[in-house]
Amino acid sequence: MYSTFNKKPCNLFLLVGLKGSGKTFTGTVLEKYLDVKFLRIEPIFLEILRREPKLAGIPLEQRGFQIVLEKLDELAQSNSNLCIESTGTAHTFPELLAALRQGFRVFMIHMKAPLDTCIERVMTRDASAHIPVSDHRLKEINERALLVDLPWDLEIDNSEFQDETAIVKSVKRLLQQQSGA
């Protein structure tokens, strides 16, 4: 279903967690302090929805995730470390993950925060850069995201927004462990 054509060695940090768990915050921190290019996924989907407002469900996922893969392939040509974010709840997420693993060295980072905290963050953040969701849909997505269980390489407890230094240190440690340093 999805395909990547990247052949260049490239690490991909995949931040997975509830809406409001701090994935965007963490991706921004990694981009700011480490040699990591953070590709936000929601703006890609927002652009698709702007062009085709009736597109929804699996066809929307397929179009959006293939564009994400193409952008990652392009970014991998000039970046050795990339980062994206996801709730992990999309119907085709397993296929996306399989494609990512074909073209990248994927590091699974679980972003953890209490459900109530996440909902409060979503309700109070700038919604213009995020896919709009109703209160009911937000609850549904986050309840599904609570069930996502993957082989995590790192877990970041983001109950309260962490000190940026702590996030950077934990990701650096992960890279050192994986490289055997």
Asked if 15 contacts 83 with a C-beta cutoff of 8 angstroms, the reply is yes
Element (H, E) at 52: none
> Could you give the CA distance from residue 28 to residue 158 in angstroms, rounded to a whole number?
14
> Could you give the CA distance from residue 134 to residue 137 in angstroms, rounded to a whole number?
5
pLDDT band at 153, cuts 50/70/90? very high
Residue 116 has pLDDT above 60, yes or no: yes
Q: Provide the pLDDT for residue 5.
A: 95
- Answer yes or no: pTM beyond 0.85: yes
Class of domain 11-179: alpha beta
Q: Provide the pLDDT for residue 128.
A: 65
Of 30-44, 110-124, 141-155, where does mean pLDDT reach its minimum?
Answer: 110-124
Between strands 37-38 and 11-17, the pairing is unpaired
> Could you give the CA distance from residue 18 to residue 130 in angstroms, rounded to a whole number?
13
Residue 181 has pLDDT above 60, yes or no: no
**Looking at residues 80-88, what average pLDDT do you find?**
96
Domain boundaries, the chain: 11-179
Instruction: Render pLDDT for 4-47 as a digit per residue (tens, 0 to 9).
Output: 999 999 999 999 999 999 999 999 999 999 999 999 999 999 99
To which residue do tokens 């994935």 refer?
23
